[in-house]
Structure 1
Amino acid sequence: MLPAFGLYTHIRQNEVRSRALVAGLFALNLVLAYGIALVLRGMSANLPAGARPGFSAYLHAAFHDLLWIGPLSIAVTFAWLFIAYHAHRAMISATVGAHPVTREEAPDLYRLLEPLCISRGMAMPTLLIVDDPALNAYATGLNPEQYAITVTTGLRDALTPREMQAVLGHELTHIRNDDVRTMMIAIVIAGIFAFVAEAGYRTDLLRNLFSGNRDGKNRAGAVPAMLLGALLIALAWILSKAIRFALSRSREFVADAGAVELTKDPDALISALIKISGRGDLARAPSGVMELCFDNPRVGFTDFFATHPPIEARIDALMRYAGGRLPPPG
């Protein structure tokens, strides 16, 4: 969280860092592909004709495999991004059960969101509702025609108008700063890793491509090659998770600051954070969708694997830099 005068500088720096991190996810695709090639070569004990068995021979053979596996991996990534670009909002809405609401159906939400959009010259995003008692909200969309903000019925019932406007301002800031686009791309690319790894281990077609010499004479170096390949696959998966977490955690502070800039009401955002804390788990939402939410109570075995900063840290930042105050007891 930064003081208001530093918000735009932080947004620009965050965007540069985000583009580099997303580019890193594409690079991890190649690491993953090389790891799979090593594992498959080692499992089949198959080396090119004339190659002298040994660890270095497997490294060279896997590198030659990377010349076609790598481009194939990148092509699959771009194809999946194309599908997600056109259909991600519909897929997410179908998963969590969200549906759009008209002005007549949700006049309270329209009255709160419209002034925020007008103040920034932004087109009004589509409003959607999820019939869920959880207290949460999230933004989706990769272009202005797709932008949408989804809120749960639990959130709508629990928050005051001031608190709801603060949450809507937070989600609108994610849209305004292109956070949604960056996070969606990162989630889609990172999600491919599990699919590629599963295909590499379970698809008979890929196994057959590397089938061949199984009589044992090429086994020298096979086990170290498989171990290195497994290590690279695990490393790619862990780093992809870390990249997604870094993107999400840093942007939540910026979105909180943007909400305060829009509403001029840090106290309302603090009050909303207190009410939402620990009550935001959407039962039907997969982990990728929860990473887009206002709060993600799903935490890994250490805080390193949390996609959002702790609620307490967000409240502390609002109090230190935005002059916010805790609500009175009771």
Structure 2
Amino acid sequence: MSYFRTAMLLAGMTALFMGVGYLIGGATGATLALVVAACTNLFAYWNSDRMVLSMYGAQPVDARNAPDLHRLVAELAARANLPMPAVYLMDNPQPNAFATGRNPQNAAVAVTTGLMQQLSREELAGVIAHELAHVKNHDTLLMTITATIAGAISMVAQFGMFFGGNRNNNGGPGMIGSIALMILAPLAAMLVQMAISRTREYAADDMGARICGNPMWLASALAKIENASHQIPNEDAERSPATAHMFIINPLSGRAMDNLFTTHPSTQNRIAALQQLAGQLGGSTTARAAVPRGPWTGASRSRGPWG
């Protein structure tokens, strides 16, 4: 049902884009909108991962300069039956993470320095497992497509304002219609994008919990990251709010209008779902089940999260 709902929402996003094109330019406009969508998605397919990693100043790390992190990602990727993704580190005090890449063979997992400093190894395993679940479900490509279509809808709607304002007598939307289109079309695209993102987050939580082996590791991590996100700003994300849906927790502080339409489900609801999953798997449903051993330092760094 989750994949069916996602497919329907993505189809709705594409239909909305073509509808905007039709209102501005009739059948020709709808065709042009479809061509623009195809071109932007083709560009995003090949370049989105490099663009977003560069945007956040993410630096590649390997077994030599980040052995513990690299080993943990490798262990979890093996448990998920995935190729080893590229591993990146972002110099950012806010604990957070995201995955990107067009497919599992070209995936990357990026974590912040804040995440490594504030989470236990078990909690970090839960976060990385969540991101690997996005890779396994091909969500990284899906969210790139929805983001590019949403951006294209906004661009086309603005063109309608400049070029369609005087076409009321010739089948165009007219000035009032163009203004409404410029406001409502991007808003509708945002709502569809949010719905897709929320659907995929629940699915990634479920699969990630199964990959790491303990749902409460991820639940404990989500609670910590949610709390920190309101106290520690992510300046890069504030400058590029369109990428907020990529992170495991919304990185925006909400100091402006950032949280008016959130791209993520309620953290409390996500934790409740993980608690329910823990009960189904026969484990404890309390936060203590995660057994975090404090910051990711000392003895906990030398052991795997499962023993």
TM-score norm. by structure 1 comes to 0.76
Aligned to 1:80: 40
Offset of 1:312 from its aligned partner?
1.5
Q: Does 2:93 align with 1:133? A: yes
Please state whether the residue corresponding to 1:76 is helix, strand or coil. Answer: helix
Aligned to 1:33: 21
Q: Does 2:233 align with 1:284? A: no
Offset of 1:225 from its aligned partner?
4.4
Q: Does 2:148 align with 1:148? A: no
Aligned to 1:267: 216
Aligned to 2:298: none
Aligned to 1:70: 30
Aligned residues: 278
Aligned to 1:311: 267
Q: For the Cα contact (< 8 Å) 1:245–1:308, is it kept in 2?
A: yes
State the alpha-carbon separation in 1 of the partners of residues 205 and 10 from structure 2: 23
Aligned to 2:143: 183
Aligned to 2:6: 18
Kindly indicate whether structure 1 or structure 2 has the higher relative contact order, using CA contacts under 8 Å at least 6 residues apart. Answer: 1
1:227 to 173, 176, 179: 176
CA radius of gyration, larger in:
1
Change in Cα spacing, 1:68 to 1:166, as seen in structure 2 (3 Å) is: same
Aligned to 1:326: 287
2:118 to 158, 164, 169: 158
Offset of 1:143 from its aligned partner?
1.9
Offset of 1:270 from its aligned partner?
2.0
Change in Cα spacing, 1:223 to 1:17, as seen in structure 2 (3 Å) is: closer
Change in Cα spacing, 1:229 to 1:109, as seen in structure 2 (3 Å) is: same
State the alpha-carbon separation in 1 of the partners of residues 44 and 140 from structure 2: 13
Q: Which runs of 5+ in 1 are unaligned?
A: 1-12, 38-64, 213-218
Q: For the Cα contact (< 8 Å) 1:141–1:180, is it kept in 2?
A: yes
State the alpha-carbon separation in 1 of the partners of residues 148 and 42 from structure 2: 10
Aligned to 1:44: none
Q: For the Cα contact (< 8 Å) 2:124–2:221, is it kept in 1?
A: yes
* More moved, 228-237 vs 190-199: 228-237
State the alpha-carbon separation in 1 of the partners of residues 57 and 6 from structure 2: 30
State the alpha-carbon separation in 2 of the partners of residues 94 and 102 from structure 1: 18
Please state whether the residue corresponding to 2:236 is helix, strand or coil. Answer: coil
Q: Deviations over 1:228-284 (max 9, x none)?
A: 444344332222111111111122222111122112222221221121114245311
* More moved, 141-150 vs 281-290: 281-290
State the alpha-carbon separation in 2 of the partners of residues 145 and 66 from structure 1: 41
Offset of 1:110 from its aligned partner?
1.8
Offset of 1:79 from its aligned partner?
0.9
Q: Which runs of 5+ in 2 are unaligned?
A: 280-284, 295-307
Q: For the Cα contact (< 8 Å) 1:31–1:232, is it kept in 2?
A: no
1:239 to 165, 175, 188: 188
Aligned to 1:42: none
Offset of 1:304 from its aligned partner?
7.5
Aligned to 1:107: 67
Change in Cα spacing, 1:302 to 1:168, as seen in structure 2 (3 Å) is: closer
State the alpha-carbon separation in 2 of the partners of residues 66 and 222 from structure 1: 8
TM-score norm. by structure 2 comes to 0.81
Change in Cα spacing, 1:199 to 1:160, as seen in structure 2 (3 Å) is: same
**Percent of pairs identical after alignment?**
32
Offset of 1:303 from its aligned partner?
7.5
Structure 1 counterpart of 2:187, one-letter code: I
